[in-house]
Amino acid sequence: MADEMIVYFNGEMTPASQVALSIYDRGFLYGDAVFDATRTFGGQTFRLDRHIDRLYNSLRYLRIDVGMSKDEMTKATEAVVAHNHPLLPPGQDMWVMQRISRGVEGANRSGGPQPTIIIESHAIPFAARAPLYRDGARISTPSVARIPPRFLSPRAKTHNYLNLIMGELEVQGEDSEAWAILLDEFGNLTEGRGSNVFLVKDGAVMTPKSQYVLEGVTRNQTLELADGLGLATAECDIDLYDAYTADEAFLTSTSLCICPVSAVNGATVGNGNVPGPVTERLMTAFSDLVGMDFAEQYLAHLPS
């Protein structure tokens, strides 16, 4: 096991190749599961406590009793990282994810099915995403709208991602390198699969209201950094007019951290230079916070 990635699986550290998930698991059958993910910087997890807090809020929303304390979940996560990170190539970092389903359908156990608990990790695709920090991300808004929170709250991070995936498939059918940002039923920007969106106008930093999106840990960290830099911030409704007339735009996510956006639906953002000055200030502040230049970590993987 020393030379193979391990997975925490229902209380045991198990070689990844030996993990066997039941075909009757409700996470597989129905997407009846939650997950969360943090990333490492130089092998150290970032804001794991905030990710664990969000994980447990998602569990409460789905009414799943995981049967583990936050401290136990944290220790198991750190143990997976401690084993798996040294197996990566030099300069590489990874996601580490906790995945908890309601358990096996029809399991004949007292009190109903017992949750399936998995903690796994895999490398961040630096090479595939490196051009984003050179050219900026292109985002597009598909016809698929984000599910309104009155039907299913986007604030819980669940395995049911079909709404976001269908929007992504539509966008990538037109531009395979584009990132989808779904609109809500009123035409306001919401989020993408694993990413929050920000606009900058006249020096102010804006992002959609938390009621309508998953509150990304990096999203919230970015708002804190903006406040620390003395930048005006707002969580508000922002529509395509705002996007087309913005001075700058960027995405935030656990793996991307802060990634500049160069175009929205084919329209160039601002003067086309990426990153813009406000975005660059935030990227620098984020790099200072995590103790490394995350953008350079991506750019180092560009073909020479």
CB 99 within 8 A of CB 127: no
pLDDT at residue number 172: 96
Tokens of 116: 């399936």
Task: pLDDT band for 107, please (50, 70, 90 cuts).
Answer: low
- pLDDT over 80 at 137, yes or no: yes
pTM for the whole thing?
A: 0.95
| β 116-123/6-9 pair status | antiparallel
Above 60 in pLDDT, residue 41?
yes
Q: What mean pLDDT is predicted for residues 290-295?
A: 97
Q: Examine the pLDDT at 2 and tell me if it is beyond 80.
A: no
Average pLDDT, the chain: 96
Is cis: bond before 260, omega within 30 of 0? no
Which tens digit of pLDDT belongs to each residue from 164-194?
999 999 999 999 999 999 999 999 999 999 9
Rounded to whole angstroms, how far apart are CA atoms 263 and 260?
10
Give the pLDDT confidence score for residue 105 in this predicted structure. Answer: 86
108 has pLDDT over 90: no
Which domains are present in the chain? Answer: 6-123 (3.30.470.10), 129-299 (3.20.10.10)
DSSP state of 193: T
The DSSP 8-state label assigned to residue 145 in this structure reads B
Q: What is the pLDDT of residue 188?
A: 98
Report the pLDDT averaged over residues 140-165: 96
Residue 109 in this model has a pLDDT that exceeds 90: no
Q: Residues 8, 119: contact at Cβ < 8 Å?
A: yes
Q: Cβ(181)–Cβ(139) under 8 Å?
A: yes
pLDDT at residue number 111? 60
- The whole-number pLDDT of residue 136 equals 98
